[in-house]
A and B are shown apart, each in its own frame.
Chain A
Amino acid sequence: MEMGWRWDFTYEILPQMAIATLNTILAAGVGYAIALIVGLFFLLAQRTPSKIFNWVNREIVEFIRSTPLLIQLFFVYFVLPQFGITLSAWVCGMITIGLHFGTYMSEVYRGALEGVSKTQWEACRALNFSTIYTYRRIVLPQAFPIAIPGMGNYLVGIFKDTPLLSTIGVAELFHAATAVGGYNYRYLEPYTLVGIIFLTLSIPAAMWVRKLERDVNISQGKIKK
C-alpha cells in the first residue's frame, strides 16, 4: 500500500464527498428545525401550572440530556420496529436529533424568557395588555437576543453531531468517507477531507453566529458600535 497523501485518489473521491456534504447539511438543517419546535413543546410543558406534569417533564428532559445521543439513536432505530413501527434511518435520525437537541433548546428558551426583567411583565399588566400582546410585542423581542448565542451554538453543535447518523446508515458525509475508505482500504484522504469540510463549514458558521449576536445586541442598544 502506498504511503502518503495521494492527490489522484483525492480528486477521484471528491465528487462523492461533495454530494454527501449536501446530505450532511440537509440533515443538520432538518434536525435543527425539529429541535427548534420540540424545544417549544418542552418549554410549554415546563410552564404549565400542574406540579406533577412539570416534574415529569423535567425528569424526561434531564434523562434525554444526560444520556448519549449515540445510544438514543440505536434505541430509536432498533426498538421502534419491535413495536411494529418501521422508520427509515433518515427519519429515525431526524427524530432523535430533534428530541435530543430539543431538550437543550428548551433550556435556551427558558433562560431567555427568564432573562427578561419581571418589571416588564408588571408594566404590561399595569397597561392592561393581553398576555399574547405582551409576549408578542414586549417579552419576545427582548428574549430573542438573549436566546441567539445559545440557538446558534446548537446549530453548529447539531452539525457536528451529524456524523453519528452514519452509525445507523444515513448516507451523510462521514458515512460516505467510511464507505469510500473501506472500499479502497485508504482512510487517510477520506477522513482528512471530512475534517477539512467540517472546518470550512463550521468555522464560518460560528463566526456568523458571533456576528449575529453582536448585530442584535447593537440593534437593541446593549453595546455600541
Chain B
Amino acid sequence: MIFRFLQFRRFSHRLFVLFVGLLGAALATTYFVVTSTNESNARENARANLELAARLVDSAIKQRIEFLVGSAKVMTGDYAFKQTFSDGDARTLSSALVSFTGRVGAPVITLYDPDGKLLANSDHAMDNENAGPFAFLIQQATEKDLTQHSGFSYLKGQLHVLVVVPFYAPYPNIFGWFGLAFPLDREFVGKISAISGVELTYVNVEDPDQPRVLATTLPVAGTAPTARAAAAAKRAREARELRPETEMVALPEERYVTLIRFQEMLAEDYIALVLQRPPTELASARDLENAIKLTSLLALAVATLLVLFIARSVSQPVVALVGHTQRIARGDYVVRNQDYRADELGRLSLAFDDMARGLAERDRVRDLLDKNVSPEVAAALLRDGAILGGQEREVTILFADLRGFTTLSEKLTPQELLTLLNRYLDRMSAAIEAHGGVIDKFIGDAIMALFGAPVAQADAADRALAAALAMEKALVQLNAELAAEGIAPLAIGVGVNTARVVAGNIGSARRLNYSVIGDGVNVASRLQSLTRTADYRTNVITSAATLAALREPTKFTARPLGTVPVKGRAEPVEIFAVE
C-alpha cells in the first residue's frame, strides 16, 4: 500500500522524500532522545534538590526540637523554678512559663505532672483540650521510657511540632514534664525556602475533597493547584497506587517540579508537605532543545536545497535525454548533448550520442539502400542481414527497354540525356512499384523488375502484366509532356516471363546485390527484345508460363504470336502480346 505512495513520477520527488525523510527522521529521533534525556535529567536534578530541601526541613525541625529540649533542661535546672513547681502555685508557674517563652523563643510552653495532667501554661488560650496532644506524647514517652518525645499536631487549629521533656528531681526521677511547641507556619517554611530555593507548603489532606493549606511560601494563586496535587497524592497513596517520585504541577506562572511527602501526625490523619521548584533546571534543557530544533530546521532546509540541486543536476540531463530520445524517435538524429560530465549520466549522454550517431548512420545507410535497392529488398536485408545464398522460387520477371535510345543520345547533351533518362526511369519505376514490383536493377536505359521476390506474391503474374500496361500508359503521359517541351516521343518494349529462378544476394563479400538468376530471366529479356519485331505490333510480350500463372486471366487480353526459339533452350517459347 505504502509503496504505491512511494512510486513517484519524478526522480527529484523520490530523492527528496528519501533524503529529507531520512534526515528528518534522524533529527527527530535525536531531538526526542536529547529532550527526553534532558527532561529526565532536569527532573532528576530538581528531585535531588527537593529531596535536599525535604531533608533540610527534617533537620531544621530536629534542631529546633533539640534546642527546645536543651532549653527545657536548663530551665528545670533552675532551683527557683523547681521550688515554684513543687509549691504547685499554678498562676506563679504560668507567669514563670511566660518569662521562659521569652528566653527560649518557643511560643508555647506548658507544664504537666508525671501523669500528663496540665499544671500550667504560658498561653491562657491553651486549655486542657489543646493540651491533649502533649498528654498523649507524655503517655507514649512514659510507656517507652523515653527521655524526650516529639510529634506533629494541631494546637489551637495551627500546625505545630510538639516536644515533651521530663524534668528530673534529681535524675532519673521524673517529677514533671515540659511541653513545648513551635508552629510550622509561614515564617518557618519561609526560612527553609530562603535557604533551599524550594517552595514549601503544608497541606491538611484529611478530606481530599477539601484540602486545606496550612502554611505556604507560594503566592495565593499557586496554593489551590498545590493543595489539589497533595489531595490527589493522598488518594493515590491510600489506593496504594504507584506514584512517580516527582510530578509536574501547573501553577499560574509555570509548571513546577513537585515532590510530596507525608508527615505522620500524633492523633490526626497525616498531612502533606509539598516541595516545589520552578523548573529552572529545565531552562537550560529548554535552551538546548530550542537550539536542536533550530539546527534541525536549518539542516532540513539546507538538505532540501541540496536535494533539489542534486535532483535537478540528475533529472535535467535525464529530461534532456528524454527530449532527445523523442526527437530521435521522430527521426531527428542531429541533436547532441552538450557537456559530458564525469559521472554515469555523462557516460549515458556519451553513449546516447554514440547511439544517435549509430542510428543516424543506419538511417543513412537505409536511405541509400532504399535508393539503390528496392525498399522491400532493403527491408529484407536489414531484417535478415546480408546473407549470401539463395532460394529457388517462382518469380515473374519484367524487362523494359527504351527503344531508339541510341538515336536520342546523339541529339542531346549528356546532361539533357541523363535528365531525360532519369525522368523516364522515374515514371516507369513508379508504375512498377505501384503494382508491387521490385526494381531489381537499371541496366542503362533498361529496367529489370521482379514480382514475387523477395516477398512472395500470389498474384505476381497479374501484377507484372498490370505494371507493364501501366508503363505503357505512363509513357503516353510522359510523351505528351515531352511533346510540349519539343522533345521527340519515347517508345518502350516490355517482356514478362514467369519462371522458377534462384533468388538471393549475389556478389562478393564486400558488395552484394539481391537478384535472381536463371533461364527464366533470359527468356524475359528475350521477350522484351521481341517487341522490336514490327509484325507483332505490340509493346508488351509475355510467355505462356506467365499467362498460366495469372489468377484472373480474364482481366487481360492475350493475342497469341506463335512460338519463338530462345537461345539456350531446346523448346521454343509460346509468346503472347498483351494489350
Q: Do A and B come from one complex?
A: no
**B residues bordering A, Cβ < 8 Å?**
none
List A residues at the B interface (Cβ < 8 Å).
none
